[in-house]
Amino acid sequence: MSSIRQFRTALAAARLGSFAEVGRQIGLTQAAVSLQIKNLESELDTRLFERGPQTLTVTPDGRQILDRLETLVRDYDNLRNKPDGVLRGTLYVGALVSALMGSFGSALAHIKRDYPALDLRLLAGQSAEFADMVAKGELDAAVVTEPPNAVPNGLMWTPFYQEPLVLIAPQELGRKPVMDLLQNEPFLQFDRTLWTGRLVTYALEQLGVTPNIALELNSIEAIAQLVRQRYGVAIVPHLANAEWSEQQLTVKALPGRPIMRGVGMLERHKHGKKPVTLALCALFNQADGH
């Protein structure tokens, strides 16, 4: 007879895409995880996963069954929860590395303090890939930049805070105007395929400047480190906890109307952890002073 434990293992496998990674997280060998899944598939007479050399993917029939298993696990957890208002269980959240360096990182301490029974699992990555994972149910929610176009179908985005785009330059170039730096210094471009990179491209268009792109990177911290080493200048979001002015960097506001990067939570309209994400949104706003 299948158990809630097997259901949780199957859901974790769908989320992580690897029996080995599931085993590391729950303290089982890869063989034990594989056996649990095989027994569940046999009992349900349905192949849940297609196995590859390194990863696995959910089959179409498996997705339908896993959605129902998620509901069963949620209902079981609700039976176990006491009506005391305490948030319990595990919440899988994707988060931008820059969000962890910014205001959301500060809010995590409040979350840990106020909800000790909540097991918050964080996965660092990029906004676009998180949107797909949230839509598929592989993540409960994700802290991402505001989608550049419309919010993907079936998802909702709750704003947390905004960060202005600024120019960062080596300290010795601090006296030069922003436009002079953009036109004459090598430019470190944030990856234009990513949501933040598109916003940086928009800022350059608004300024009417085409810089000399020296490198294109997908990490704000990597860009800041190269600027410190005098590789060039860059336009990036001004992260709340980035002490750039104390790290041999000059931070300059862009000319004209400020261009803001919004950061917030992306989640499905309906999912089993909705009470938790609502509470986290409220807690974050409180922690951030909103």
Name the CATH topology of 163-260.
D-Maltodextrin-Binding Protein; domain 2 (3.40.190)
pLDDT at 92: 85
Bridge pairing between strands 155-170 and 260-268: antiparallel
Q: Where are the beta strands (DSSP E) in the chain?
A: 49-51, 56-58, 89-96, 118-125, 141-145, 155-170, 186-190, 212-217, 234-237, 249-253, 260-268
**Among residues of the chain, what percentage have pLDDT more than 70?**
90
Please determine, for residue 234, whether its predicted confidence score (pLDDT) is greater than 50. yes
pLDDT tens digits for range 23-79: 877 777 888 888 889 989 999 899 999 988 778 889 999 899 988 888 888 777 666
pLDDT at 284: 62
pLDDT at 83: 52
Is CATH 1.10.3720.10 the right assignment for the domain spanning 1-76?
no
Q: Copy the structure tokens of residue 253.
A: 């506001």
Q: What is the mean pLDDT of residues 12-28?
A: 82
**Any residues with CB less than 8 A from the CB of 233 and at least 6 apart, and which?**
167, 168, 169, 170, 173, 181, 182, 185, 186, 187, 188, 227
Which range is most confident: 19-28, 112-121, 260-269?
260-269
Bridge partner list, 212: 186
What average pLDDT is seen over the chain?
Answer: 84
For residues 187 and 236, the answer to whether their CB atoms sit within 8 Å is: no
Whole-model pTM: value is 0.67
Q: How far, in Å, CA of 72 to CA of 237, rounded?
A: 42
pLDDT at 139: 84
Q: What is the mean pLDDT of residues 100-124?
A: 76
Residue of 144, 153, 246, 239 lying closest to 195 (CA atoms): 144
Please determine, for residue 81, whether its predicted confidence score (pLDDT) is greater than 60. no
Q: How far, in Å, CA of 44 to CA of 103, rounded?
A: 45
Q: Which backbone phi and psi does 95 adopt, to 5 degrees?
A: -145, 135
- For the chain, the domains span 1-76, 163-260
Q: How far, in Å, CA of 78 to CA of 73, rounded?
A: 9
For residues 263 and 87, the answer to whether their CB atoms sit within 8 Å is: no
Distance set, CA 202 to CA 154, 181, 209 (Å): 27, 18, 11
**Any residues with CB less than 8 A from the CB of 123 and at least 6 apart, and which?**
92, 93, 94, 95, 139
Say which DSSP state 275 is in.
Answer: H
pLDDT at 84: 54
Q: Copy the structure tokens of residue 252.
A: 């300059």
